[in-house]
Amino acid sequence: MVRKRGIEKPSKPYPEFPLTANGNGQWSKKIKGRVWYFGPWDDPEAALAKYLEQRDQIQLGATPKTIVSHIHGATIEFVCNYMLTRKEEQVQNGQLTDLTWNEYKEACKRLVAFFGASADPEALTPGHFAELRSSFPTTWGTARSSREVARIRTVFKFAYEDGIIKSPPNFGRSFRQASKKERRIEKAVKRGRDGDPLFSPEEIRTLVEGCRPRWKAIVLTALNCGFGNTDLANLHEDHIRDGFIELPRSKTGITRRASLWSRTEEAIRETINKRPEPSPGDEGIVFLTERGNRFVRPSGKDGRNLDGFLSAFPKILERLGLKRRGRGFYGLRRTFRTYAAGCKDPEAINYVMGHAEDADSMPGTYTLLVEDQRLRDLASYLESVFWPTVLIFLVWVIVSIIANV
């Protein structure tokens, strides 16, 4: 069975017991920078005996024969649990989010359920993977299917690079991510069927004016900064300073910075003054639910997250007559990106959205920092689009002229 996070680990049989209960159901010990496993939780004495037998070999840099033989006969379940354990270490080190770990776990569960826990990963053929691809829910679009394909391919790539399997499987031509062309076609079809998922400036004004104070602040921040659900849920008071918000994008860790409209600052300030008592660990978080929790948080059920934005936002849209099939909370981020293009400063837009160039590329080397004035110009331009007053427009024109002198 693919291991689960969040289950209660057993205590050590006695304080001096040298092994640690690992989340994959085994007793483990970190030796020479790597975690080694010595047996299941329900037999600590056997695990201890195995540890005492093998520790000297490991300290000398050798891989014990019993481990080698087990790896050479690695099953799908073993490969999945191995990767999930390694990925959990990345979660603990802050290199990976809980949400991403849970997505990998779901992909592993799919693999084990489809091929069987004892299946030989090196015996899989393109035909097997074509059948797996065909088993994906028909409700999934190309984007979601592509993400699942990428995660499953990562499982085998991880196992191969760590020497768990001798060679990566041949996935074949069917088990691949959708091309950009295929995604564009699907988006065009979906837009023709459901309508435009973006919000027009008139709809944005209706939305902001019709929201209660806390949701007004949420909508303004999402639109002003191009924030997604998790970014808003993790926004802390310390991220707001001198008219700017600065925090790493939760998905990529890329630093992002945005200039705030005065209306956004005012709405945030009012929200902070009236927010409920926070749950333990959520002190200083800007946007909290009525019960004082973050809007996006682990549910404790099968490792999935609860997302208060997804559950509450459709009701707001329906109340204001703005609900439309295919339109959701993330549409605010897409609306930001679409209208921001008119500012004609792609580097500033990418910096605000956390879409910076690859730091290893030459453009990324020189555009890791965008000047604050360019961020102010971008914010002023967007404000003139959504709240088109003569004064705001003239200010933006004057600022643009001065910047180009």
Residue 309's CATH number: 1.10.443.10
Residue type, 370: V
DSSP 285: B
Task: Please count the structural domains in the chain.
Answer: 2
Same domain, 162 and 260: no
Task: Transcribe 73-100 into DSSP letters.
Answer: T--HHHHHHHHHHHHHHHHHTTSS-HHH
Q: Cβ distance 221 to 232 under 8 Å?
A: yes
CB atoms near residue 148 (< 10 Å): 19
213 and 295 part of one domain: yes
- Tell me if 308 is assigned to some domain: yes
pLDDT of residue 367: 47
176, 275: one domain? no
Is 259 in contact with 376 (CB distance < 8 Å)?
yes
User: Are 221 and 357 contained in the same domain?
Assistant: yes
The pLDDT assigned to 61 comes to 73
Q: Do the domain assignments include residue 339?
A: yes
State pTM to two decimals: 0.63
Which stretches of the chain score pLDDT less than 70? 1-7, 24, 62-73, 185-196, 250-253, 300-304, 356-368, 390-405
Distance (Å, whole) CA 149 – CA 146: 5
- pLDDT recorded at residue 69: 52
Q: Quick one: 227 and 154 in the same domain?
A: no
Of the three residues 151, 180, 209, the one that is the final residue of a domain is: 180
Q: How far apart are CA 197 and CA 203, in angstroms?
A: 12
In a domain, 12, yes or no: no
What backbone phi and psi angles, to 5 degrees, belong to 162? Answer: -95, 5
User: Could you tell me if 81 and 167 lie in one domain?
Assistant: yes
What pLDDT sits at residue 221? 98
Kindly state the helix (H) or strand (E) to which residue 225 belongs, with its residue range: helix 213-225
Clarify whether residues 207 and 173 are in a common domain: no
pLDDT at 393: 54
294-297, long-range: CB < 8 A, 24+ apart: 294/233, 294/234, 295/229, 295/232, 295/233, 296/229, 296/230, 296/232, 296/233, 296/234, 297/233
Domain range for 223 is 201-404
Task: Determine the distance from the C-alpha atom of residue 101 to the mean position of all C-alpha atoms in its chain, rounded to a whole number.
Answer: 9
